Amino acid sequence: MPRRQDATSAVSAGRFSVACSDCGQRGEGASFRQCRDCRGGTAISYASMRPIALTGHARMWDFAGRLPVGDAANIVSLGEGGTPLLGSSADRNAALYFKNEGQNPTGSQKDRAMSVAVSVAKERRVSQIVVASTGSVGVSCAAYSAHAGIRCLIMVPAGTPVERLQPMMALGARVVEIDGTFEQIEAILASLDSRRWYQASTIMGMNCFQGEGPKTIAYEIAGQLGRVPDWVVVPIGGGGTLHGIWRGFVELVDLGSTAHVPRMVGVQARALNLLERLDLSRVPTADEVHAKAPDERTESVCRNLRHAVPPDWRGAVRAVRESGGLFCSVTDEQALDWQLRLGREEGIFCEPSSAVVGQAVADLRSRGIIEREQSVVAVITGSGFREVGILGAMNPRRCTATVGEAELERLLRAVQ
């Protein structure tokens, strides 16, 4: 038998159980949304307590023993994970690395979550998947559903750029644009019968399984760097990715693979910087959080960070508090500026929602919070190719076909 990269024949899947960490209710069986009220509280535990083997060449399903799929034959993989950890070209301290999640199958870190979510759907013999998305989750869910042969229905808020919807449709998904906000779509989904409608949401309270995917980012960073960095900086959309990466580092420590957990930084868009404005000296209540929330219609060029209240704020707050990290925020202007800086200086073309990590690292170093010699891994969550429309104002120089060496020289000089 050929060895297939999609890993279905190469890995041994682990035994695991699901429970609500708050009320103790077991979540196995048809439904796993019982604890919707204590979002973020659902926990998956694994039978194996062996240390996780760290290497520089792992892909996500090499860690199948720490992912919630019972039978390896049900793994739905498009080759997610194994993304490069790039040493910064521009950083003089040689202590800054970029984990480029834009090289995942559909161009974002969400492919890890969706690979798990759709594998679980296949294991449960689900015939249709439904998901809410402003972009990344939708296209990822469409791709994995197609690969698994499962129907996919994606609900997007009105106003999502059509360049983000067309790839979903090209991947065979049914896309429905809803005249309402992301929050209103969430309310629709919460009202559906969860036994009939499998929801591949990346919100922990809607689907706890997918939340295990981002853990593998932590495993890979530790393997590629050969140690745990001092800081890990992550853009905050819903908050689930930051939370998941942190849990991955916690697992590594718990299993004896590494010695400590890095300090986690969550980066928000300035106009939506709810988490930065919280008092983190204690755990905030839901009322406090909602009282500080910005208007749901607040816009930002960082499309993937556009949540008035990040649905997984509990997990994100926990990760930041327990790791001794912090939240910060970046303006739209800075995000656009850093999109071009990361392109020009590092050769990484990312979306503005990811470029925020560049400004965040610069700010935190300037403020003396990240010290000069400390190592930092900044997670580039998504590729810039998925929203080229944002570059609309750029236009090339134009020349005639008689251009010669002198003219090329002038052009190079003119743009330096």
Beta partners for residue 98, in sequence order: 86, 378
| Neighbouring-strand partners of residue 16 | 46
Binding residues for a copy of itself, total number by CB under 8 A:
107
Name, in order, each residue with C-beta under 8 angstroms of 133's C-beta and a sequence gap of 6 or more: 139, 141, 154, 155, 156
Binding span for a copy of itself by CB under 8 A among 26-34, 101-109, 266-274, 289-297: 101-109
Site string for a copy of itself, 349-388 (x = CB under 8 A): x-------------------------x-------xxxx-x
SS3 198: strand
Nearest Cα neighbor of 316 from 275, 353, 288 is 275
Q: Are 18 and 42 in contact (CB under 8 A)?
A: yes
The interface with a copy of itself within residues 12-51 (CB under 8 A) comprises none
Binding residues among 113-142 for a copy of itself as defined by CB under 8 A: 128, 130, 139, 142
146 lines the binding site for a copy of itself (CB under 8 A): yes
Q: Are 316 and 243 in contact (CB under 8 A)?
A: yes
Residue 335 as a binder of a copy of itself (CB under 8 A): the answer is: no
What's the closest the beta carbon of residue 214 comes to a copy of itself, in angstroms?
18
CA distance 49 to 52: 9
Q: Considering only residues 150 through 169, tell me which ones interact with a copy of itself, judged by CB under 8 A.
A: 151, 153, 155-156, 158, 162-163, 165-167, 169
What is the smallest separation between the CB atom of 43 and a copy of itself, expressed in angstroms? 30
Site residues for a copy of itself, 387-416, by CB under 8 A, read: 388-389, 391-392, 394-401, 403-405, 408, 411-412, 415-416
Minimum distance of a copy of itself from residue 189's CB (angstroms): 10
- b/e 37-58 (16+ beta carbons within 10 angstroms → b): eebbbbbbebeeeeebebeeeb
User: Applying CB under 8 A, does 191 fall inside the site for a copy of itself?
Assistant: yes
Which one-letter amino acid corresponds to residue 226?
A: G
Which of 38, 43, 72, 85 binds a copy of itself (CB under 8 A)? It is 85
User: First vs last Cα of the chain: how many Å apart?
Assistant: 55
* Residue numbers 208-247 binding a copy of itself by CB under 8 A: 224-227
Least Cβ distance, residue 129 to a copy of itself (angstroms): 11
- Decide if residue 175 touches a copy of itself (CB under 8 A): yes
Count CB neighbours of 82 within 10 A. Answer: 18
